[in-house]
Structure 1
Amino acid sequence: MTEETGQTRPLGVSRPDLAVDDLPEPEEVFGVRRIGPKELFKYALGPSLIALGISIGSGEWLLGPQAVGQYGFVGVGWVIVVSAVLQTFYNIECSRYVMATGEAPVVGWGRVPPGYLLWVPLSVFIVIFAFIAGGWAASAGQGVYALVHGEVPPAGAEEPRIWAIALLVLVFLITAGARRISRALELANWVMVGAILVALVLVDLFVVPFSQWWEGIRGFVTPAAPPAGITATQLGALAGFTALASGLNWYVMGHYRDKGYGMGYRVGHISGMRGGRTQMLASGVTFPDDPDNNARWRRWYRLLLTDMWGIFFVGAMLGMLLPTILMARAVEISGKTPTQANVPTFVASALEQEHGRVLFNVALVLGVLILFSTQLGIFEGMVRVTTDAAHATSPRLRALVEGDPRRFYYPFMLVLLVIIAIILHLALPVSLVQWSANMSNLGALFYPFLLIYLNRRLPRAARSRWYHQVILVLNFLFFGFFFVNFIADLVGNPLVTF
């Protein structure tokens, strides 16, 4: 492995050497005397909430409930659990690189042979191609329409799309009004995710019998063959969007840099329009191999594990269990099964039949919150990835924006808003979401191996262990299988039928 020489440390190819500086103490970053339980929740935890806000959305409110509503829990639930476990490990490995170098993953990929000219533009293209379809936005628009009019939208209605565009504008306003964009997203998700989980627990306790709670839990822990009739696209979408976005989860992990985790504190962050101008470094910074820095690294790594397993994983599992058992109850009440066209409002309509208008409105508000939290994270994430990539790799752009990434970030967000507004008119919301989810699985074919390359070359204390690499290969096998099966199904016959 390469070692630092002087004040820099080479890592990979085609990118500048990493500067070398000491890791900060967590107390220095968060401005507190010590990190106790109160400080942990108030200051240190949070980036995983942005990922969780995306997670409790397209997979948990649309794809998982639709699959359970049509096919039941057994044979579907274990796919959810395996996907969530593998993705949490994958997220940790992505964040390991961010903490050790201060570089967002999209920039780090440029250090992998043959270099940034391949991996950086390809990665930006894949993220935008996967998420620009706008199914998450269109589904949120359906929920707002039903909330305003008290009924589900008719097929082909234009107004839900107008509401979807209005919610995109709201995302722009949230980021524009922030001092530090990542912090604004954290606070928004603390409120939304907290309200979503509490409300789902209360509604489920009120309307879902214990037998269906148990059936859902049992389905999660019972390995079984996928149910007959489920398609490769449906199952691949469920695997891809359970927890987050399988092979593309890395596009959200750059928030650990902006939070100041590890060496991210030395690199800078993207400010909102209300924030002061910050100079974000074009290349990363790492730490020397010595006892003091190694001890600080262990502290940061423990914070990362707490954030990922304590908030992201637990929240993702609750976020899938609670809506799916509610959907199972809605199917039982209505005697019908959800379709791609009506799944965003299916639960609300079924609950109205049994429990009246109050629960109809509660379910719609929940759906809008769930899908808007997804919309917030995905839309901002596409802009962030493109901004990070352009700022790090283009000296000409850095000169043009005078070192202020906001001058690229906000105009690009407006351009993307217009493009998504056009695209979301082209297909049903859930079919757009299924497309995005299967595109996410594409990333699992190669990003785990890019991570192995990078993380084996970090300072010794930060390097991944052999079992971390095994888990990354399992990500490749699990999500890669679903993507290959999806492509085979798209062009002819799937490799495996159920």
Structure 2
Amino acid sequence: MSHPLGVSRPDLEVTDLPTPEEVFKVSRIGFKELFKYAVGPSLIALGISIGSGEWLLGPLNVGQYGFVGVGWVIVVSALLQTFYNVECSRYVLATGETPVVGWGRVPPGWPLWVPLSVLIVIFAFIAGGWAASAGQGVYALVHGVPPGAGDVEPRLWAIALLVLVFLITAGARRISRALELANWVMVGAILLALLAVDLLVVPFGLWWEGIRGFVTPAAPPAGITATQLGALAGFTALASGLNWYVMGHYRDKGYGMGHRVGYLSGLRGERRAVLASGVTFPDDERNRGLWRRWYRLLMVDMWGVFFVGAILGMLLPTILMAQAVALSGEKPTRANVPTFVASALGDQYGRLTFYVALVVGVLILFSTQLGIFEAMVRVTTDAANATSPRLRRLIEGDPRRFYYPFMLLLLVVISIIIFQSLPVGLVEWSANMSNLGALIYPFLLMYLNSRLPRPARPRPWHYVILVLNFLFFGFFFVNFIADFVGDPLVTF
């Protein structure tokens, strides 16, 4: 028995959904088991999310222009992206295929969509602004002062952090699980430290101003361009139209049919094959009930962890930046924003505060670096394994034989690129390239999800939300191109 879906890829085999208890090896899923075993992929996404947008672009824009007229862009972006994440993950849960493999089922087929999607992800993120920014933070930690504009050493620290990502994945038994555990530690430490620092140094009036700015519809402030807002929108929460590149972790976590397809193991793990094509479930009473259970777990992971964390991850750094601007009497620039808050707080409250803020900044940017670098390798590995029988024979069914050599190659390429521009400039490029995805992938998702087994199909209003993603983020990408070749469409 099989389920046809799309073109140019094999039909999906049909078998029963596993139970969450079977996947997570527990007798029941209670509150404790939910957070110990089931929550996870959202943390990897959140580790990336609380990064370039939250520590660089959000504070940069708020520091220069204030909250009102900027904050609502953050909230709308986070809402739209969380809905989009759920729809990307719906496909993974129902088929066990990662999105980059699923795109190959959309007409005209995989020879167009799979290579194009890999290229878009790599083109968007290979600039390495997230790596270079983390390197600036490490430099300041080592030397006690922010780097100068022409210093080379921060880029060398960025390369060292890329090597650390390689070592984390190489030392893992199951790569996704290692990333989850790393992000439990980093995201938890980031949010707790930011909350503590904000409670200590940010006056209540600024807290209220930040919250009010998030919920007040207002015209963007004078002087800001749509390109700047587009970068902020693109990297609030995650990476707008390219968020799908992270959702494959639900397969490796074993959510739904992902449990039947396999996962990428680390060098210390046992050899694991990942099926080249996915599987799905029959439309019967038992599987309808199991689908509802898996979907509820997805909603908890996405709305209860990712969305809440993304909003806090943007609010806490931006009000801290507003206080740093008030204390220093200066505004951040694209060159100094990675270390601006630490310098301003250090001048006012002493060296301990300076170092605490730097550590938080490095953790924020490194969690982004960890997730993005690994995801570029993961997307390419999944795409190659699914579409090339010759490669599967060459690697003898062990994706690690492609994953780790490609990671080393990518490490070398990024190490060269990060010497070419200011870190924030590289991040803004990546963010606006992420918005390109919103012109393409919402429609591919509509095609795929409308052809899933009936219990897994979206409701009609979900398609409306996907169209809103296209309109909101797509506008910012079109503006970015107009700005790149001439003048932005809008300057406020």
Q: Could you say whether these structures have the same fold, taking a TM-score greater than 0.5 normalized by the shorter chain as the test?
A: yes
| Equivalent pair of 2:88/2:99 in contact (CA under 8 Å) | yes
Q: What's the CA shift for 1:364? A: 0.3
Query: Secondary structure at 2:13's aligned position in 1?
Result: strand
| Equivalent pair of 2:261/2:274 in contact (CA under 8 Å) | yes
Residue 57 of structure 1 pairs with residue 51 of structure 2: yes
What is aligned with 1:298? 292
Letter in 1 for 2:5: L
Q: What's the CA shift for 1:351? A: 0.3
Q: What's the CA shift for 1:233? A: 1.8
Per-residue displacement from partner, 1:418-447 (whole Å, max 9, x unpaired)?
A: 000000000000000000000000000010
CA distance in 2, matches of 1:303, 1:53: 19
Query: Secondary structure at 2:333's aligned position in 1?
Result: coil
What is aligned with 1:419? 413
Per-residue displacement from partner, 1:135-169 (whole Å, max 9, x unpaired)?
A: 00000000000000000011111110000000000
Query: Secondary structure at 1:24's aligned position in 2?
Result: coil
Residue 221 of structure 1 pairs with residue 212 of structure 2: no
Pairwise CA RMSD = 0.4
Residue 249 of structure 1 pairs with residue 243 of structure 2: yes
Unaligned runs of 5+ in 1: 1-6
CA distance in 2, matches of 1:235, 1:43: 37
What is aligned with 1:328? 322
CA distance in 1, matches of 2:482, 2:147: 34
Letter in 2 for 1:37: F
What is aligned with 2:191? 197
CA distance in 2, matches of 1:127, 1:81: 24
Query: Secondary structure at 1:12's aligned position in 2?
Result: coil
CA distance in 2, matches of 1:302, 1:210: 36
CA distance in 1, matches of 2:99, 2:486: 35
What is aligned with 1:16? 10
**Of 455, 467, 473, which residue of structure 1 is paired with 2:449?**
455
CA distance in 2, matches of 1:111, 1:226: 40
What is aligned with 2:125? 131
What is aligned with 2:269? 275
What is aligned with 1:258? 252
What is aligned with 1:34? 28
| Equivalent pair of 2:20/2:294 in contact (CA under 8 Å) | yes
CA distance in 2, matches of 1:497, 1:154: 31
Residue 186 of structure 1 pairs with residue 147 of structure 2: no
Q: What's the CA shift for 1:38? A: 0.4
What is aligned with 1:210? 204
What is aligned with 2:402? 408
CA distance in 1, matches of 2:261, 2:134: 35
Q: What's the CA shift for 1:465? A: 1.0
Letter in 1 for 2:115: P
CA distance in 1, matches of 2:374, 2:6: 29
Query: Secondary structure at 2:334's aligned position in 1?
Result: coil
Query: Secondary structure at 1:278's aligned position in 2?
Result: coil
What is aligned with 2:79? 85
| Equivalent pair of 2:225/2:490 in contact (CA under 8 Å) | no
TM-score (norm 1): 0.99
Q: What's the CA shift for 1:205? A: 0.4
CA distance in 2, matches of 1:350, 1:454: 49
Residue 479 of structure 1 pairs with residue 473 of structure 2: yes
CA distance in 2, matches of 1:210, 1:429: 32
**Of 383, 389, 392, which residue of structure 1 is paired with 2:383?**
389
CA distance in 1, matches of 2:42, 2:148: 37
| Equivalent pair of 2:261/2:275 in contact (CA under 8 Å) | yes
Per-residue displacement from partner, 1:394-426 (whole Å, max 9, x unpaired)?
A: 000000000000000000000000000000000
CA distance in 2, matches of 1:306, 1:428: 38
Paired residues, number: 492
CA distance in 1, matches of 2:88, 2:273: 24
**Of 134, 139, 144, which residue of structure 2 is paired with 1:140?**
134
CA distance in 2, matches of 1:19, 1:181: 26
CA distance in 1, matches of 2:184, 2:314: 18
Per-residue displacement from partner, 1:76-98 (whole Å, max 9, x unpaired)?
A: 00000000000000000000000
CA distance in 1, matches of 2:273, 2:234: 36
Query: Secondary structure at 2:180's aligned position in 1?
Result: helix
Query: Secondary structure at 2:18's aligned position in 1?
Result: coil
What is aligned with 1:237? 231
Query: Secondary structure at 1:276's aligned position in 2?
Result: coil
What is aligned with 2:98? 104
Q: What's the CA shift for 1:458? A: 0.2
Query: Secondary structure at 1:139's aligned position in 2?
Result: helix
Query: Secondary structure at 1:19's aligned position in 2?
Result: strand
CA distance in 1, matches of 2:150, 2:238: 29
Moved over 4 A (4+): none
Unaligned runs of 5+ in 2: none
What is aligned with 2:362? 368
Letter in 2 for 1:28: E
CA distance in 1, matches of 2:228, 2:475: 13
Per-residue displacement from partner, 1:56-92 (whole Å, max 9, x unpaired)?
A: 0000000000000000000000000000000000000
Q: What's the CA shift for 1:493? A: 1.8
**Of 277, 282, 303, which residue of structure 2 is paired with 1:288?**
282
Query: Secondary structure at 2:270's aligned position in 1?
Result: coil
**Of 462, 479, 492, which residue of structure 2 is paired with 1:468?**
462
Query: Secondary structure at 1:203's aligned position in 2?
Result: helix
What is aligned with 1:442? 436
Per-residue displacement from partner, 1:118-151 (whole Å, max 9, x unpaired)?
A: 0000000000000000000000000000000000
CA distance in 1, matches of 2:403, 2:117: 17
**Of 485, 492, 495, which residue of structure 1 is paired with 2:489?**
495
Query: Secondary structure at 2:97's aligned position in 1?
Result: coil
Q: What's the CA shift for 1:232? A: 2.1
Q: What's the CA shift for 1:467? A: 0.4
What is aligned with 1:169? 163
Q: What's the CA shift for 1:211? A: 0.2
Per-residue displacement from partner, 1:290-340 (whole Å, max 9, x unpaired)?
A: 000000000000000000000000000000000000000000000000001
What is aligned with 1:4? none
TM-score (norm 2): 1.00
Per-residue displacement from partner, 1:98-135 (whole Å, max 9, x unpaired)?
A: 00000000000000000000000000000000000000
Q: What's the CA shift for 1:231? A: 1.7
- Kindly report which structure 2 residues correspond to 1:308-323, keeping only aligned pairs within 5 A, or say none: 308-323=302-317
CA distance in 2, matches of 1:192, 1:376: 11
CA distance in 2, matches of 1:346, 1:249: 29
CA distance in 2, matches of 1:442, 1:278: 34
CA distance in 1, matches of 2:3, 2:229: 44
Q: What's the CA shift for 1:353? A: 1.1
